[in-house]
A and B are shown apart, each in its own frame.
Chain A
Protein backbone atom coordinates (compact mmCIF):
# COMPACT_ATOMS: atom_id res chain seq x y z
CA UNK A 1 0.00 0.00 0.00
CA UNK A 2 1.09 3.53 -0.66
CA UNK A 3 2.88 5.33 2.14
CA UNK A 4 1.43 8.61 0.92
CA UNK A 5 -0.31 10.84 3.45
CA UNK A 6 -3.94 10.06 3.91
CA UNK A 7 -6.95 11.31 5.79
CA UNK A 8 -8.75 9.09 8.29
CA UNK A 9 -12.44 9.00 9.21
CA UNK A 10 -13.36 6.94 12.25
CA UNK A 11 -16.98 5.81 12.02
CA UNK A 12 -16.82 3.58 15.09
CA UNK A 13 -20.25 3.31 16.69
CA UNK A 14 -21.92 4.70 13.56
CA UNK A 15 -24.61 2.83 11.66
CA UNK A 16 -26.48 3.15 8.38
CA UNK A 17 -27.31 5.60 6.87
CA UNK A 18 -24.91 7.86 8.76
CA UNK A 19 -21.92 5.77 7.76
CA UNK A 20 -22.23 6.72 4.11
CA UNK A 21 -23.56 10.21 4.84
CA UNK A 22 -20.47 11.03 6.88
CA UNK A 23 -18.17 9.33 4.37
CA UNK A 24 -19.62 11.44 1.59
CA UNK A 25 -19.39 14.63 3.65
CA UNK A 26 -15.73 13.95 4.35
CA UNK A 27 -14.99 13.16 0.72
CA UNK A 28 -16.69 16.39 -0.25
CA UNK A 29 -14.00 18.30 1.66
CA UNK A 30 -11.09 16.51 0.00
CA UNK A 31 -9.45 17.18 -3.36
CA UNK A 32 -9.72 14.69 -6.21
CA UNK A 33 -7.08 12.00 -5.83
CA UNK A 34 -7.01 12.20 -2.03
CA UNK A 35 -6.81 8.94 -0.10
CA UNK A 36 -9.32 8.48 2.71
CA UNK A 37 -9.22 5.64 5.22
CA UNK A 38 -12.68 4.96 6.63
CA UNK A 39 -12.92 2.88 9.81
CA UNK A 40 -16.20 1.08 10.50
CA UNK A 41 -17.10 -1.36 13.27
CA UNK A 42 -20.56 -2.45 12.10
CA UNK A 43 -20.10 -5.54 9.92
CA UNK A 44 -22.77 -4.67 7.31
CA UNK A 45 -21.08 -1.29 6.80
CA UNK A 46 -17.89 -3.04 5.70
CA UNK A 47 -19.80 -4.27 2.64
CA UNK A 48 -22.34 -1.54 2.14
CA UNK A 49 -20.15 1.56 2.47
CA UNK A 50 -17.68 0.39 -0.22
CA UNK A 51 -20.59 -0.52 -2.50
CA UNK A 52 -22.11 2.94 -2.19
CA UNK A 53 -18.71 4.57 -2.72
CA UNK A 54 -18.10 2.58 -5.91
CA UNK A 55 -21.58 3.41 -7.15
CA UNK A 56 -20.72 7.09 -6.69
CA UNK A 57 -17.59 6.77 -8.78
CA UNK A 58 -15.01 6.55 -5.98
CA UNK A 59 -12.17 4.05 -6.08
CA UNK A 60 -12.14 1.49 -3.30
CA UNK A 61 -8.60 0.20 -2.94
CA UNK A 62 -9.03 -2.26 -0.09
CA UNK A 63 -11.20 -3.42 2.78
CA UNK A 64 -9.15 -4.86 5.61
CA UNK A 65 -10.33 -6.31 8.92
CA UNK A 66 -8.44 -5.05 11.96
CA UNK A 67 -8.44 -5.66 15.68
CA UNK A 68 -9.88 -2.83 17.69
CA UNK A 69 -10.26 -2.28 21.46
CA UNK A 70 -14.00 -3.05 21.35
CA UNK A 71 -13.79 -5.95 18.87
CA UNK A 72 -13.52 -6.08 15.10
CA UNK A 73 -13.37 -3.17 12.74
CA UNK A 74 -12.65 -2.68 9.05
CA UNK A 75 -10.40 -0.20 7.28
CA UNK A 76 -11.82 0.89 3.93
CA UNK A 77 -9.22 2.63 1.80
CA UNK A 78 -10.75 4.81 -0.87
CA UNK A 79 -9.45 7.37 -3.33
CA UNK A 80 -11.63 10.28 -4.30
CA UNK A 81 -12.30 10.04 -8.03
CA UNK A 82 -15.55 11.99 -8.27
CA UNK A 83 -17.23 14.90 -6.55
CA UNK A 84 -19.91 13.52 -4.23
CA UNK A 85 -23.36 15.02 -4.50
CA UNK A 86 -24.93 15.36 -1.11
CA UNK A 87 -26.38 18.83 -0.70
CA UNK A 88 -29.84 19.30 -2.06
CA UNK A 89 -29.81 19.94 -5.80
CA UNK A 90 -33.39 20.66 -6.91
CA UNK A 91 -34.38 19.36 -10.30
CA UNK A 92 -35.06 22.22 -12.70
Chain B
Protein backbone atom coordinates (compact mmCIF):
# COMPACT_ATOMS: atom_id res chain seq x y z
CA UNK B 1 0.00 0.00 0.00
CA UNK B 2 1.26 3.50 -0.78
CA UNK B 3 2.61 5.71 1.95
CA UNK B 4 -0.09 8.27 2.66
CA UNK B 5 1.77 10.64 4.96
CA UNK B 6 5.32 11.13 6.14
CA UNK B 7 6.10 13.42 9.05
CA UNK B 8 9.51 14.81 9.94
CA UNK B 9 9.88 15.85 13.58
CA UNK B 10 13.02 17.78 14.53
CA UNK B 11 11.50 19.43 17.59
CA UNK B 12 10.28 17.23 20.46
CA UNK B 13 7.56 19.76 21.23
CA UNK B 14 5.93 18.87 17.93
CA UNK B 15 5.48 15.17 18.62
CA UNK B 16 1.91 15.40 19.86
CA UNK B 17 0.88 17.33 16.78
CA UNK B 18 2.65 14.83 14.55
CA UNK B 19 0.89 11.94 16.21
CA UNK B 20 -2.46 13.68 15.74
CA UNK B 21 -1.68 13.87 12.02
CA UNK B 22 -0.92 10.17 11.63
CA UNK B 23 -3.76 8.93 13.82
CA UNK B 24 -6.22 6.79 11.84
CA UNK B 25 -3.99 6.81 8.76
CA UNK B 26 -3.32 3.31 7.41
CA UNK B 27 0.12 3.97 5.92
CA UNK B 28 2.03 6.61 7.84
CA UNK B 29 5.68 7.12 8.67
CA UNK B 30 7.36 9.30 11.25
CA UNK B 31 11.03 10.27 11.26
CA UNK B 32 12.69 11.90 14.26
CA UNK B 33 15.96 13.76 13.88
CA UNK B 34 17.93 16.57 15.50
CA UNK B 35 16.31 17.51 18.84
CA UNK B 36 13.25 15.50 17.80
CA UNK B 37 15.03 12.28 18.80
CA UNK B 38 14.47 13.27 22.43
CA UNK B 39 10.80 12.42 21.94
CA UNK B 40 11.64 8.77 21.21
CA UNK B 41 10.58 7.38 24.62
CA UNK B 42 7.23 9.21 24.67
CA UNK B 43 4.53 6.70 25.73
CA UNK B 44 2.09 7.94 23.11
CA UNK B 45 4.68 7.33 20.38
CA UNK B 46 5.40 3.83 21.66
CA UNK B 47 1.65 3.14 21.71
CA UNK B 48 1.30 4.41 18.13
CA UNK B 49 4.13 2.12 17.01
CA UNK B 50 2.37 -0.74 18.76
CA UNK B 51 -0.71 0.16 16.72
CA UNK B 52 1.26 -0.11 13.47
CA UNK B 53 2.93 3.28 12.94
CA UNK B 54 6.29 3.02 11.16
CA UNK B 55 8.61 5.27 13.15
CA UNK B 56 12.36 5.67 12.85
CA UNK B 57 14.92 8.06 14.22
CA UNK B 58 18.31 9.30 13.10
CA UNK B 59 20.77 6.98 14.85
CA UNK B 60 23.53 9.55 14.62
CA UNK B 61 21.47 12.28 16.29
CA UNK B 62 20.31 9.83 18.94
CA UNK B 63 23.89 8.82 19.68
CA UNK B 64 24.93 12.48 19.94
CA UNK B 65 22.18 13.13 22.49
CA UNK B 66 22.52 9.95 24.53
CA UNK B 67 19.19 8.56 23.35
CA UNK B 68 19.31 4.78 23.42
CA UNK B 69 17.11 2.15 21.82
CA UNK B 70 14.06 1.26 23.89
CA UNK B 71 11.75 -1.73 23.63
CA UNK B 72 8.79 -0.80 21.47
CA UNK B 73 10.30 2.55 20.50
CA UNK B 74 11.26 3.84 17.06
CA UNK B 75 13.87 1.89 15.15
CA UNK B 76 17.33 3.35 14.73
CA UNK B 77 17.47 4.45 11.13
CA UNK B 78 19.36 6.86 8.97
CA UNK B 79 18.93 9.82 6.68
CA UNK B 80 18.13 7.24 4.05
CA UNK B 81 14.86 6.50 5.87
CA UNK B 82 14.13 10.19 6.06
CA UNK B 83 14.87 10.75 2.38
CA UNK B 84 12.84 7.80 1.12
CA UNK B 85 9.93 8.95 3.28
CA UNK B 86 10.07 12.39 1.63
CA UNK B 87 10.40 10.72 -1.77
CA UNK B 88 7.56 8.25 -1.38
CA UNK B 89 4.86 9.79 0.84
CA UNK B 90 1.84 11.35 -0.84
CA UNK B 91 1.80 14.08 1.81
CA UNK B 92 4.89 15.32 3.64
CA UNK B 93 4.74 17.41 6.80
CA UNK B 94 7.95 18.88 8.22
CA UNK B 95 8.13 20.13 11.79
CA UNK B 96 11.69 21.24 12.35
CA UNK B 97 11.13 23.84 15.04
CA UNK B 98 10.30 26.80 12.84
CA UNK B 99 7.44 27.07 10.44
CA UNK B 100 5.49 23.90 9.67
CA UNK B 101 5.50 22.80 6.04
CA UNK B 102 2.66 20.71 4.69
CA UNK B 103 3.18 19.53 1.12
CA UNK B 104 0.51 17.56 -0.64
CA UNK B 105 -0.53 16.71 -4.17
CA UNK B 106 2.72 16.08 -6.05
CA UNK B 107 3.26 12.59 -7.42
CA UNK B 108 5.64 10.68 -5.14
CA UNK B 109 8.76 9.02 -6.48
CA UNK B 110 12.25 9.63 -7.83
CA UNK B 111 13.00 13.05 -9.21
CA UNK B 112 10.54 14.73 -6.86
CA UNK B 113 11.65 18.32 -6.28
CA UNK B 114 12.42 19.23 -2.69
CA UNK B 115 13.15 22.75 -1.51
CA UNK B 116 15.20 22.88 1.69
CA UNK B 117 14.72 26.37 3.10
CA UNK B 118 17.33 27.81 5.43
CA UNK B 119 15.68 30.43 7.63
CA UNK B 120 18.34 30.81 10.33
CA UNK B 121 21.83 32.14 10.76
CA UNK B 122 24.33 29.99 8.90
CA UNK B 123 26.04 29.11 12.20
CA UNK B 124 22.85 27.75 13.73
CA UNK B 125 23.17 23.97 14.21
CA UNK B 126 19.82 23.51 12.47
CA UNK B 127 21.42 24.73 9.24
CA UNK B 128 23.98 21.95 9.40
CA UNK B 129 21.16 19.46 10.01
CA UNK B 130 19.20 20.86 7.07
CA UNK B 131 22.16 20.39 4.75
CA UNK B 132 22.82 16.88 6.06
CA UNK B 133 19.22 16.01 5.32
CA UNK B 134 19.55 17.59 1.88
CA UNK B 135 22.53 15.35 1.09
CA UNK B 136 20.38 12.38 2.08
CA UNK B 137 17.62 13.57 -0.26
CA UNK B 138 20.14 13.84 -3.07
CA UNK B 139 21.28 10.28 -2.43
CA UNK B 140 17.68 9.04 -2.65
CA UNK B 141 17.21 10.47 -6.14
CA UNK B 142 15.34 13.57 -5.15
CA UNK B 143 15.99 16.85 -6.92
CA UNK B 144 17.14 19.32 -4.28
CA UNK B 145 17.17 23.09 -4.25
CA UNK B 146 18.53 24.77 -1.14
CA UNK B 147 16.73 28.06 -0.62
CA UNK B 148 18.85 30.51 1.34
CA UNK B 149 16.80 33.16 3.13
CA UNK B 150 18.45 36.41 4.32
CA UNK B 151 19.38 35.19 7.83
CA UNK B 152 21.45 32.36 6.28
CA UNK B 153 23.04 34.48 3.57
CA UNK B 154 26.54 34.14 5.04
CA UNK B 155 26.42 30.49 4.00
CA UNK B 156 27.10 31.41 0.39
CA UNK B 157 28.92 34.68 1.00
CA UNK B 158 31.92 33.09 2.67
CA UNK B 159 33.93 29.87 2.79
CA UNK B 160 34.64 30.20 6.49
CA UNK B 161 32.29 27.56 7.80
CA UNK B 162 32.54 24.34 9.75
CA UNK B 163 33.93 21.47 7.65
CA UNK B 164 30.57 19.67 7.84
CA UNK B 165 28.82 22.61 6.19
CA UNK B 166 31.46 22.99 3.51
CA UNK B 167 31.31 19.29 2.75
CA UNK B 168 27.53 19.27 2.45
CA UNK B 169 27.62 22.28 0.12
CA UNK B 170 30.33 20.71 -2.03
CA UNK B 171 28.50 17.37 -2.14
CA UNK B 172 25.21 18.90 -3.19
CA UNK B 173 26.83 21.05 -5.84
CA UNK B 174 28.93 18.14 -7.05
CA UNK B 175 25.79 16.07 -7.56
CA UNK B 176 24.17 18.86 -9.56
CA UNK B 177 21.81 20.36 -7.00
CA UNK B 178 21.19 24.08 -6.69
CA UNK B 179 21.44 26.82 -4.09
CA UNK B 180 19.14 29.81 -4.54
CA UNK B 181 19.36 33.00 -2.53
CA UNK B 182 16.04 34.74 -1.96
CA UNK B 183 15.39 38.27 -0.76
CA UNK B 184 12.45 37.49 1.50
CA UNK B 185 10.87 34.53 3.26
CA UNK B 186 7.79 35.01 1.06
CA UNK B 187 9.73 34.24 -2.11
CA UNK B 188 8.58 30.82 -3.30
CA UNK B 189 10.52 28.49 -5.56
CA UNK B 190 9.05 25.84 -7.80
CA UNK B 191 9.02 22.54 -5.90
CA UNK B 192 6.90 19.57 -4.87
CA UNK B 193 7.93 19.42 -1.22
CA UNK B 194 9.21 22.12 1.08
CA UNK B 195 11.16 21.57 4.28
CA UNK B 196 12.06 24.69 6.26
CA UNK B 197 14.74 24.80 8.91
Which A residues are closer than 8 A to B by beta carbons? 15-18, 20-21, 24, 42, 44-45, 47-48, 51-52, 55, 85-91
Instruction: Contacts A48-B80, A89-B110 given; indicate if A15 touches B60 (C-beta within 8 A).
Output: yes
B 139-153 to A, binary, CB cutoff 8 A, 1 in contact else 0:
101011000000000
B 164-186 to A, binary, CB cutoff 8 A, 1 in contact else 0:
00010001000111000000000
Q: Please, how many angstroms separate the alpha-carbon atoms of A47 and B143 in the complex?
A: 26
Contact status B80-A87, CB under 8 Å: no
Q: Please, how many angstroms separate the alpha-carbon atoms of A20 and B171 in the complex?
A: 13
Contact status B60-A90, CB under 8 Å: no
Contact status B78-A86, CB under 8 Å: no
B111: interface (CB < 8 Å): yes
Number of chain B residues whose Cβ lies closer than 8 Å to a Cβ of chain A: 29
Contact status A86-B175, CB under 8 Å: yes
Q: Please, how many angstroms separate the alpha-carbon atoms of A16 and B167 in the complex?
A: 13
Contact status A48-B111, CB under 8 Å: no
Contact status A17-B132, CB under 8 Å: yes
B84 to chain A, nearest CB (A): 7
List A contacts of B79 (CB < 8 A). 16-17
Q: Please, how many angstroms separate the alpha-carbon atoms of A20 and B63 in the complex?
A: 18
The 3 residue pairs across chains A and B that have the minimum distance between CB atoms:
A44-B59, A91-B111, A88-B176
Instruction: Contacts A86-B141, A90-B143 given; indicate if A51 touches B80 (C-beta within 8 A).
Output: yes
Contact status A16-B78, CB under 8 Å: yes
Measured CB to CB, the nearest residue on chain A to B167 is A18
B residues 66-108 touching A (CB-CB < 8 Å): 76-81, 83-84
Contact status A85-B110, CB under 8 Å: yes
Contact status A16-B59, CB under 8 Å: yes
Contact status B111-A90, CB under 8 Å: yes
Which of the residues B76, B84, B171, B175 comes within 8 Å of A55, measured between beta carbons? B84
Q: Given A21-B139, A91-B111, 9 other A-B contacts at CB below 8 A?
A: A16-B79, A16-B136, A20-B139, A21-B138, A51-B80, A85-B141, A86-B138, A88-B175, A89-B111
